[in-house]
Amino acid sequence: MRSTLRRTRRTGLAAAGLVPALLLTGCSTAWEGAAGEPAAAPVQDVLLQPLGAHGPDPFTDSTVRNTAAPAAPDRGPGDGPSPAHEVTGSTPGLYGGTRAVGSCDVERQAALLAADRTKARAFAEAAGIPEANVASWLRGLTPVALRADTRVTGHGYRDGRANAYQAVLQTGTSVLVDQYGAPRVRCACGNPLRSPAADPGGVHQGEPWDGFDPDRVIVVKPTASVVTSLVIVNTSDRTWIERRTGSDGDEDREPAVAPACDPDTCALTGFGTPDPSDPGHPDSPVPVPPEPTAPDPARPAPTTPHPDVPDPSGTGGTGTDPTAPLPTAPDPDTEPAPDPYDEPLPDPFAEPSEPDGQQPPEELFPAGAVPDQPETFQG
């Protein structure tokens, strides 16, 4: 298979001829060195993964459904993000899909992993979940398709283990995303996905697809809290779809409030701005709710933060709700309550005194004379 080597602006290698490598595409892990052992690959090496490639190191067979892949939004010169720019996972238009049809067969994905316990264990370890929860975790993901070339950390399966590598997934790739809006599974090979390495540069390995531009690769940033739905672009007619997270598309509907931007460009504007899904943002699909007077039963229960994001509450994921309202500040015009500690404490060594005009009660004194006590005790 013929493949090419393409460098980005931040490569640390001096000459292409000095480091021979086997260049792979698809769901591959690192290449092999002498004696079949994995060679020490620089962390900046990035595999280019075309949307339809199965790859040599898949966890499972493909579970991609035969749906239309979303086209990349139209962009002119200078449009789009800088290399590996972050886009929040709940951004409207970041993902696409077909109405009422999920891009991946989640049940088949769960069954394929359940049939091989060794793979299921390696999958769970790479995904950062308990092995016993693999099937239920997969059913809680949402099938969509990428609308931009996206950088991730992928995991190939080899010799009973998951091997991590950096990758760029092509626009149109079918993925399962979690309730924080982050891609977690590549459906063409069943490989678990995590957030990419911090360094956005590197050597791109593999055959670049038509239109590939390293300056337009994005990184999906998980939301700080759970989202209940994603606003995606309908690939058939370029309209908006609201898809409930954890659903297979059977509950798709038109958003109650459409984003205030065009579906083709909505995911590419406002980079570096607050999360567009937050109520109050100009592009938010969620109207600003009135001030609540009682707990909202429909509000998602507090959950553990995304595994690739530190817990903002500092509690280590103990269930503290970061969106809970702060305590009401005291009214500066209200006279503060007296401090009970301002009163002086009684002196325990002071002689007791009786109020004026009163005698102590007779019970405190004996009625008869007190016998003399001996100065010494017999013993």
The neighbour count for residue 368, using CB atoms within 10 Å, is 5
- In this structure, are residues 169 and 219 in contact, taking their beta carbons and an 8 Å threshold? no
- In this structure, are residues 131 and 124 in contact, taking their beta carbons and an 8 Å threshold? yes
pLDDT mean over 188-206: 91
Please give the Cα distance from 197 to 202 (Å, whole number).
11
- In this structure, are residues 65 and 104 in contact, taking their beta carbons and an 8 Å threshold? yes
* Amino acid at the residue 273: T
Please give the Cα distance from 216 to 197 (Å, whole number).
17
pTM to 2 decimals? 0.64
Residue, of 50 and 272, whose pLDDT is higher = 50
Residue, of 282 and 160, whose pLDDT is higher = 160
Query: pLDDT tens digit string along 79-89?
Result: 444 445 899 99
| pLDDT recorded at residue 24 | 44
Query: Would you say residue 278 has pLDDT above 50?
Result: no
Upper half-sphere CA count for residue 167 (Cβ side, 13 Å)? 33
Query: Would you say residue 199 has pLDDT above 90?
Result: no
Query: Would you say residue 153 has pLDDT above 70?
Result: yes
Query: Would you say residue 8 has pLDDT above 60?
Result: no
Query: pLDDT tens digit string along 292-324?
Result: 334 444 444 445 677 787 654 443 333 334 444
| Average pLDDT in the chain | 73
| pLDDT recorded at residue 70 | 62
Residue keyed to tokens 């990758």: 167
DSSP H helices in 61-161:
106-114, 117-127, 134-139
- In this structure, are residues 241 and 254 in contact, taking their beta carbons and an 8 Å threshold? yes
DSSP of 201-267, one letter per residue? --EEES-PPTT--GGG-EEEEPPSS--SEEEEEETTTS-EEEEETT--STT-B--SS--SS-TTTGG
Q: Are strands 85-88 and 218-221 parallel, antiparallel or unpaired?
A: parallel
